[in-house]
Amino acid sequence: MKVLKANQWQPLCAISDLVENAGICALVDGEQVAIFYLPAEIPRVYAIGNHDPIGKANVLSRGIVGDIKGELVVASPLYKQHFSLLTGKCLEDDSASVPVYEVVLDGDKVLIEV
């Protein structure tokens, strides 16, 4: 469970640093966070942990994004499991999941909740 706390938004980068329909990676307090930019969706940005718990490497930001039966996902570039961009759950393996972070767009800036 997530402990409720006052939103503290930390600026990460500019929208122009993002890649359309794909991910990039940012360092947030020492953690690697994968940020995906899907201009046609609402919201337009999503953030989950970059570490693939199955492939055991920091690679999720480099996967292909898309949907599986409507659920937005990224496919790990190592072994192709899908992780939900909304819940962080792995679709193929109940026991695997990655953290989800709150991100918002503020003008042309990307902010993340810390």
Considering the complex, state which of residue 13 and residue 96 has its C-beta at the smaller distance from other proteins.
13
Q: Which residues of the shown chain bind other proteins in the complex (CB under 8 A)?
A: 12-13, 17-22, 24-27, 32, 35, 38, 40, 51, 55, 57-59, 62-70, 72-73, 75, 77-78, 80
Does residue 103 contact residue 46 with C-beta atoms inside 8 Å? yes
**Among 2, 14, 22, residue whose Cα is nearest residue 111:** 14
- Closest CB 36 distance from other proteins, rounded Å: 9
**Position of tokens 């360092």?**
27
Considering the complex, state which of residue 71 and residue 88 has its C-beta at the smaller distance from other proteins.
71
Return the SS3 of 46: strand
- Closest CB 27 distance from other proteins, rounded Å: 5
Fill in the DSSP letter of residue 72: E
CA 51 from centroid of its chain's CA atoms = 10
Considering the complex, state which of residue 48 and residue 63 has its C-beta at the smaller distance from other proteins.
63
